[in-house]
Amino acid sequence: MIEAPEIDLAYPLTDGDIAVNNLESARRNSWNRFWRDPLRPGIAESIVEQEQLTAPFVGDMGALDRLDSLVRCLDRVEAESPRTTLIRAQIASMGHRFAEAKRYLDEIGDWGELSEDANRLSLSIDQACGIDLEAALEARRWMAAKSRRLEDLVPLAALHADLREFDEADRIYQCALREYQGTSPFAVAWVCFQLGVLWGELIPEVQSSRAEYWYQKAIEYLPCYVKVRVHLAEVYLRHGRGKEAEALLLTAIPSGDPEVHWRLADVLAQMGRFADAKAQMQTARSGFEALLEKHLLAFADHGAEFYAGSGNDPRRAFELASINLANRPTLRAFEQAYEAAVDAGESERAAKFVAAAEHRWGATNAFRFSQLARTYGDKPASERSTA
């Protein structure tokens, strides 16, 4: 049974096919204008915005590479400016190079007061790294109350989800849908995806039907949304609906996203098509390694998840999860690193992760809901202070 209220937006959204066509068209055009005149007002910012849409919604793994070339060019023509430095910070953050992004923001601060965009980015980085979440929550609440706009409500909801306040997260995500008055399917599909992840992955007792509902809505609005296809395929896979999962993933193959190949391999294996599954798994492995070679921090957590799962390399999973944890010590990163350490037989490191997580997160409600809290609580008192 679907427990979620039916979503039926009162106004139509631009068809996903048209929206993606126009995004691609505008993105290519922006690059063209940029190469003609890299200092044209607003052009570099447009490219960052368009590539930030292209990467998650179209599953275009080349976006980060292209943005690196943008920075490279700006370094040539306008290296010493707050504008270039903010763009560097945005791109570093997109690649999960959070410490580097923070350094750039500090540099901007040396020039004067941070702009609204820079402040928003700083807040996003803190949130992504699990730093001072109470202050981030206060700031997010203030921004969302002031604007009531979807782009402020969604990060607030995501922060509540990070704090394991799932009902509040759900309420705010749905509020974001109600408040939205635009025609872009990207925005609405994004919220639907977040709701799918909330009910399908984040809550302790997963509600698959609810997750499926939201994932399907996201695909309805934006058929090319690769990440959603992968997540929905996982739901189907868990319930033995291999054919449906395969159909979902086959259309996403041209994106080049290795997660598509990984999940397809799982689906094919479940269907007993082991040779095909093996080929897909190899493609997934080489795809992940290629991404990790270029953008290690951006894909460390995904890589760890892959190798901890059917990628079947616990040591690599442990290595990547440790890198991700060092980069962004969120509670989720601690949980992933702990599990990877246990699977890799690194019990001493696992214990240290638990202790460090308790040290950093123990005072929060979120930690009480975590598996790590139970693990920590099970330990003798003498072993609880090894952080």
Partner 1 sequence: MSDHVDGPRQIGEPATDLTDLFAFTSPENPAHTVLAANVFPSAGVTAMFSNAVNHSIVVRRMTVAGTGEDAKFKPSDKEYRFSFRFDVLEHANGDSKPVQRGTCTCPDGQMLPFVVNDEKGVSTADGVFRVFAGLRSDPFNLAWAPAVLKKLPNLLQHDNVLAIVVEFDTRRVLSPSEGSLFGVIAEITPLPGRASPIGVNPPRYDWVGRPEQTNMRLNNPGIQGTDDLRDLWNQQTPFAIAEELKPVFHQKLVESLSNWDLRDGKADWSSGALHAAANVYLDDFLLFDVSKPTSDTSFFEIEKSTLRGKPYATGGGRTVDANVVDIMITWMVNDDKEFMQGGATGATKPGLKVFPYEASPNTELQTVADNVDLAASPDQVWALIGQFGGMWHPLIASVRLTGNGVGQLRTIETIDGKQIIERLEAEDNSQRLYRYTNVSGLGVVDYTGTFDLKPKGSGSSVEWRVQFLADNQATLVVRTIVATLMKTGFEALTKRFGALK
Give CA–CA dist 213/2, Å, rounded.
7
Q: Which one, of 146, 160, 138, 119, lies nearest residue 366 by Cα?
A: 160
Q: Which is nearer to partner 1, 135 or 145 (CB)?
A: 145
**Is 272 a binder of partner 1 (CB under 8 A)?**
no
**Residue choice 78, 107, 168, 179 for contact with partner 1 (CB under 8 A):** 179
**Is 239 a binder of partner 1 (CB under 8 A)?**
no
The least distance separating partner 1 from the CB of residue 71, rounded to whole angstroms, comes to 11
Q: Which is nearer to partner 1, 27 or 302 (CB)?
A: 27
Q: Which is nearer to partner 1, 120 or 149 (CB)?
A: 149
Residue type, 68: D
Give CA–CA dist 337/2, Å, rounded.
33
Q: Which is nearer to partner 1, 75 or 383 (CB)?
A: 75
**Is 81 a binder of partner 1 (CB under 8 A)?**
no
The least distance separating partner 1 from the CB of residue 11, rounded to whole angstroms, comes to 4
Q: Which is nearer to partner 1, 38 or 362 (CB)?
A: 38
Q: Which is nearer to partner 1, 35 or 274 (CB)?
A: 35
The least distance separating partner 1 from the CB of residue 49, rounded to whole angstroms, comes to 8
Task: Judge contact between 173 and 198, C-beta under 8 A.
Answer: yes
Q: Which helix (H) or strand (E) holds 324?
A: helix 314-327
Long-range contacts of 320-329 (CB under 8 A, 24+ apart): 320/292, 322/349, 323/296, 323/297, 324/297, 324/300, 325/353, 327/96, 327/98, 327/99, 327/129, 327/297, 327/300, 328/96, 328/98, 328/128, 328/129, 328/130, 329/129, 329/130, 329/356, 329/360
The least distance separating partner 1 from the CB of residue 329, rounded to whole angstroms, comes to 27
* 86-94, 106-114, 171-179, 208-216 -> range binding partner 1 (CB under 8 A): 171-179
**Is 374 a binder of partner 1 (CB under 8 A)?**
no
**Is 343 a binder of partner 1 (CB under 8 A)?**
no
**Is 280 a binder of partner 1 (CB under 8 A)?**
no
Q: How many residues bind partner 1 (CB under 8 A)?
A: 48
**Is 146 a binder of partner 1 (CB under 8 A)?**
no
**Residue choice 13, 64, 230, 356 for contact with partner 1 (CB under 8 A):** 13
**Residue choice 184, 194, 322, 370 for contact with partner 1 (CB under 8 A):** 184
Q: What phi and psi values does residue 183 have, to the nearest 5 degrees?
A: -120, 0
Residue 134: how many other CB atoms lie within 10 Å: 9
**Residue choice 1, 2, 3, 35 for contact with partner 1 (CB under 8 A):** 35
Longest dimension (CA), the chain: 66
Mark residues 101-140: x for contact with partner 1 by CB under 8 A, - for none: ----------------------------------------
**Is 181 a binder of partner 1 (CB under 8 A)?**
yes
Task: Judge contact between 4 and 214, C-beta under 8 A.
Answer: yes
Q: Which is nearer to partner 1, 12 or 204 (CB)?
A: 12
Distances (CA, A) of 118 to 18, 88, 101, 208: 31, 11, 10, 38
Q: Which is nearer to partner 1, 13 or 337 (CB)?
A: 13
Q: Which one, of 68, 94, 78, lies nearest residue 41 by Cα?
A: 78
Show the tokens assigned to 185. Answer: 């399917």
**Is 177 a binder of partner 1 (CB under 8 A)?**
yes
Give CA–CA dist 26/135, Å, rounded.
37
**Residue choice 81, 183, 207, 310 for contact with partner 1 (CB under 8 A):** 183
- Provide the phi-psi class of 358: left if phi over 0, else alpha when psi is between -120 and 50, else beta: alpha
**Residue choice 62, 117, 171, 182 for contact with partner 1 (CB under 8 A):** 182
Binding site for partner 1 (CB under 8 A): 5, 7-15, 17-19, 21-22, 24-33, 35-36, 40-41, 46, 49, 69, 72-73, 75-76, 149, 174, 177-184, 186-187
